[in-house]
Amino acid sequence: MLFERKIYQKMKEWKQNFAGNSGLLIEGARRIGKSTVAETFAQNEYEDYILLDFSLESPDVRRNFDNIGNLDTFFRNLFLLKGKELPAGKSVIIFDEVQLFPPARQSIKQLVKDGRYDYIETGSLITIKKNVQNILLPSEEYKIKMYPMDFEEFLWATGDRVTMPAVSNAFRNRSPMGDIAHRKIMQTFRTYMAVGGMPQAVEAFVRGASFRNIDFVKRNILDLYEDDLKKYDKENGEKASVIFRTIPAQLTKHNSHFVFSEVDKNARYKNYVDAVEFVAESMMGNICVNVTYPDVSLEMYEERNNFKLYMGDTGLLVTQIMRNGTETEDALYKALIFNRLGINQGMIMENVVAQMLKAKGHQLYFHEYLYRAEENQREQKYEIDFLTVRNRKIVPLEIKSSGYSSHQSFDYFIKKYPTPVEERFIVYGKDLMLRDGIVYIPFYMACCL
């Protein structure tokens, strides 16, 4: 089953404007649909194509890259090995799972310069040290990050092309959806959170599979991820697999900060930093870093050892929770979809907002600060869940899984800092509302930020 993906339009823009000067590199976690969208694009937008899947290619195909200095020989051998010849100027060659054969990635420089064909690379763990340490990285790469299916893509998969235009219009106009529409969309959004954005899980849902079967699909993906992490651990002596596995436990804490004692009582950041970065760079997880000052140049104030770590896909988080907990699959899914979830609701909601912000291109930051209110004798600690930047101004976000009456952290934030703030958003479970200079938006509108 093929699903429409937003990245397809970005690929068309690359082909129209940059294909003659660069190869397209699609980077993302495993099983999010990179290979499928690359081959679909090749079929639709070119006269012909060749797919080189480096998880399967023969030693002869790999050895042929030794001929990259003589491209006539390289192409003659390639066409012989693959049993087809491509018309020049009308075809594309796909390097799938290119991280498994770095020399192919290095060859992009010569291949693009040659100009006979276009090139698309797909890969996971692209930036990991062992995948780049012995090659000269080509500057002739147009890089696009791909993420799990977002809420709108999920709606498209179910045949709904009406909801998100209405949501986007309401967000732009700062107008509520109305009670009936809001309740309907919110339940659909909860279903999306439960299923997640992994195409295999979405396909199972669209085909009418039970949540037990959908969960089985996600468990297989998690097993695949953990195998990758264990391979990294074996080669680097790190504990990336444990870090990934403890994400649900970390997110249950009241402020979601990553605490290394959950990994090992003697663990320290300096000993695990590479493993944490691996989980983030693999795009299995989304790291959110504290900034010591809320300036528009947020990256200048990163405090890397103070962070939160979210799952890259919220549906996988739901499955991971069930692995670690005592709830039955049917009970947890039912509670999540029908808004009867207890202790885990806040972490799931925070995770899905992080996922939506990341998919929109935002780097994830939060900010904790001390402030002494007039009625208090000493400073107290407050926190802004997420900070983004828009129009050279700070945009603070607070996530409220239940009640929403209190916004002290927002109020003291404004009093403490002279930094220009464009708008303040509270993301919560009810309809859009404007109050006290704050925009309250339902969870499903976070994709509009």
Nearest Cα neighbor of 3 from 29, 33, 30, 25 is: 33
Q: Is residue 2 part of a domain?
A: no
Domain boundary among 145, 163, 196: 145
**Do 304 and 438 have their domain in common?**
yes
Mean pLDDT of the region 76-93: 97
Look up the domain containing 83 and give its range.
7-145
**Do 134 and 173 have their domain in common?**
no
Cα separation, 80 vs 69, in Å, equals 18
Mean pLDDT of the region 419-435: 92
Number of domains within the chain = 2
pLDDT of 376 reads: 81
Q: What is the pLDDT of residues 394-404, one digit of tens each?
A: 999 999 886 56
**Do 140 and 164 have their domain in common?**
no
Q: Is residue 420 part of a domain?
A: yes
pLDDT of 365 reads: 98
**Do 256 and 386 have their domain in common?**
yes
- pLDDT beyond 60 at 87: yes
| Number of other residues whose CB lies within 10 A of the CB of residue 286 | 23
Tokens at 400, concatenated: 């409220």
Domain boundary among 145, 173, 197: 145
pLDDT band at 126 (very low <50, low <70, confident <90, very high): low
Q: Is residue 189 part of a domain?
A: yes
Mean pLDDT of the region 63-92: 97
pLDDT of 344 reads: 58
pLDDT of 231 reads: 86
Q: What is the pLDDT of residues 174-195, one digit of tens each?
A: 999 999 999 999 999 999 999 9
- pLDDT beyond 80 at 304: yes
Mean pLDDT of the region 229-248: 86
**Do 114 and 194 have their domain in common?**
no
Task: Name the residue with higher pLDDT: 344 or 110.
Answer: 110
Q: Is residue 114 part of a domain?
A: yes
pLDDT of 131 reads: 56
Q: What is the pLDDT of residues 331-364, one digit of tens each?
A: 777 777 776 655 557 889 999 999 999 999 999 9
Mean pLDDT score of the chain: 91
